[in-house]
Amino acid sequence: MAVLLGIDTGGTYTDAVLFDDETRQVLSSAKSLTTKHDLSLCVSDATAQALAGLPEFDPSKIGLVSLSTTLATNAIVEQHGFPVGLILIGQDEKALDRAGLRQAMGTDPVLFLAGGHNPDGREREALNLDAARPQIKALAQKVSAVAICGYFGTRNPSHEVTIRDLVRTETALPVTCAHELANALDAPRRALTALLNARLVPLIQQLILAVGGMLETHGITAPLMVVKGDGSLISADTALTRPVETILSGPAASVVGAHFLSNRDDCVISDIGGTTTDIAVLKNGKPVLAADGAYVGGYRTMVEAIAVHTVGLGGDSEIGLDDEKCLKVGPRRRVPISLLARDHATVMPTLQGQMDRAWPKPNDGIFAIKLRDMKSGTLSKGEQRIWDMLQEGPKSMEQLLAGRAPEQPLLRLVDRGLVILSGFTPSDASHVLGLQNNWNTEAAELCAKLTARTERRPGTPLAEDARALAQAVIDQLTVQSCAAVVEAVMTDMPLRSAAPFFKAAFSSNTAKEKSENLVEFDITLKSPLIGIGAPAETYYPEIARRLRTEFDVPRYADVCNAVGAVAGGVSQRVQILITSPAEGLFRVHGPAGIEDFNNLENAASTALTLAQKEARSRADEAGALEVKVETSRDDRIATVAGSFAVFIESTISATAFGRPRISKGN
């Protein structure tokens, strides 16, 4: 019996399953709260619980460990991450205004270097390494990683490679080249993809080190794999250099797992966690892929991934007001107050003290807690004051902002992922309504009372009482979840103009009865809805009812991602482009540079060999066993003057695939 260990580390929970590779059955499963300050704790705890479900089993006999994670996705959605230096070759400031690159950069530094290539791969301007060297050294003092993108770097990556080697020589920082991640044109989007990859490297390093330490503790010597955004697997070593490929890793694993557990080939899969809801479509047993690359947190990347619609909506989402002073849920995560109170005795007295006050304050019921240690960087005076206070444990916003202290230093610590806020969430609302009882219900009720009396407008409280607030929060989560499902399956819908219709269609029966609208809307989802994730059974029966569709929560739905982590295989795809910069000249744009031919078939033969070799090499590096390679060729031919054929370009594709290597154990 080959037993595989699947682990999913999400923003809220870490799940583990033991899976029989021969019978394809789940043998044992477990959940543990994710401990972001030390990931080894939750990974070890979930694994230990799963192993306890098979007391006679020897952990050293595990043949494979596979990991899926939503940490990279959540970091982008919540705009957290490590500071990155972006080096743009042959580009100027205008590049930052495309693809959301300037927004993604935030306050991180950008370095513009001379260089770049023409569309045909010829050098447009030479690099000046003597000028670049001191600039790179100065950049390295401010960042944790470096991303490089050259102008037309996919047509000729030599400048990116040269600057990458210079960064490695002059610094000890991890470095990402855009051409290693994407082969399509659009330099700003490639730069965005490289930037996100570089920002995620330290995050994924922490996770893989935590898992590696846990495996060593349990005497497990099996290969460690990580789920990519398209649902296939890569080795942990590959994930360390290309972590951006793990964005949507968790959602991809959930799709693979949901397909396996539900045994449905055509359905809509919605995975609701603590931080995000991830929605994907399964057609003919295969997940629909994103035609233009993975879309996460408002950014369109060039990562090949399952078409997943990800929204910041989950059981632990923040509760706030929109521009019209109406209740909204998300997009950021907060630690549920019921969970914080369970773990910290000082929370309840603080809540009670705020409740005893005769008047409400805007920050009532909101706390801050240290999320992780600070590895590098400096803090301002205001940030340092708050950071020092949080070393003792969670503090209320009222305490942190006493004496008219500004709020911005605290918000900057939150943006850097060093601190997280805690307050009333849908999970707390579920405690108030009796739908959930695993944490501190009394704290949830007290915080609900505090939040309810918060003023929507001067003199107008948010809700009549705690129960009314809790019901309003769950109703709003339901409306936003229904809208997210429709948005996911109707990708060409103008979402801004559709929002009022969604609200009208998905409101509760009580709200519809109170509405003065003369027209009532209903929307029907024609495909079954498969709900997975820990809160699915709590929220999705009502969501499916309002979508007027069939609904199913399969067995092991709460650990579906961990199941998907071990149910998939290894797959690596390589594409090589052939262009014709002049009549009778055919140029192969290979991984190492360009090569010219005077015959198309000779160029295609060389490109095919390069693609097969590179795909097989990547699959082997990714941990595949018994690799098989499939190839295809797509020629683009234009017809001129009705009959004259002109070659435009050709794309040679090679896909290498195989099952992951499984060890026989000790």
Residues forming a β-bridge with 598: none
pLDDT for position 80: 72
The domain ranges of the chain are 317-472, 570-660
Distance (Å, rounded) from C-alpha 191 to C-alpha 35?
A: 32
Q: How far is CA 347 from CA 367, 431, 496, 534, in A?
A: 9, 17, 40, 25
pLDDT for position 125: 94
Sequence letter at residue 297: G
Distance (Å, rounded) from C-alpha 413 to C-alpha 525?
A: 41
Alpha-carbon torsion, ordered 431, 437, 439, 442, to 10 deg? 50
Burial environment of residue 26 by CB neighbours within 10 A (0 to 12, 13 to 18, 19 or more): buried
Distance (Å, rounded) from C-alpha 194 to C-alpha 566?
A: 28
User: Residues 229, 306: contact at Cβ < 8 Å?
Assistant: yes
Could you state, in chain order, the average pLDDT of each consecutive group of 10 residues for the chain (666 residues)? 88 88 90 82 91 91 90 74 90 90 90 93 93 95 92 91 94 89 84 88 82 88 90 89 80 88 92 88 86 78 82 92 86 95 96 92 93 75 92 93 88 89 96 94 96 84 92 94 88 58 66 59 88 87 92 88 90 92 92 90 96 94 91 90 82 93 73
Distance (Å, rounded) from C-alpha 220 to C-alpha 626?
A: 24
pLDDT for position 434: 95
pLDDT for position 66: 94
Tokens encoding 20: 């029989």
User: Residues 53, 18: contact at Cβ < 8 Å?
Assistant: yes
461 alpha carbon, distance to own chain's centre? 36
pLDDT for position 449: 95
pLDDT for position 375: 62
Instruction: Name the DSSP letter for residue 39.
Output: H
Q: How far is CA 549 from CA 423, 511, 552, in A?
A: 33, 21, 10
Instruction: Name the DSSP letter for residue 70.
Output: S
Give the other-Cβ count within 10 Å of 646's Cβ: 12
pLDDT for position 511: 55
R_g of the chain, CA atoms, integer Å:
26
pLDDT for position 421: 96
Q: Smallest Cα–Cα separation from 534: which of 258, 256, 274?
A: 274
Q: How far is CA 369 from CA 36, 309, 372, 410, in A?
A: 12, 30, 9, 11
Q: With 0.85 as the threshold, say if the pTM is over it.
A: no
Distance (Å, rounded) from C-alpha 620 to C-alpha 262?
A: 31
3-state secondary structure of 232: coil
Sequence letter at residue 201: V
Domain spanning 570-660, CATH class: alpha beta
Q: Smallest Cα–Cα separation from 204: which of 51, 393, 73, 395?
A: 73
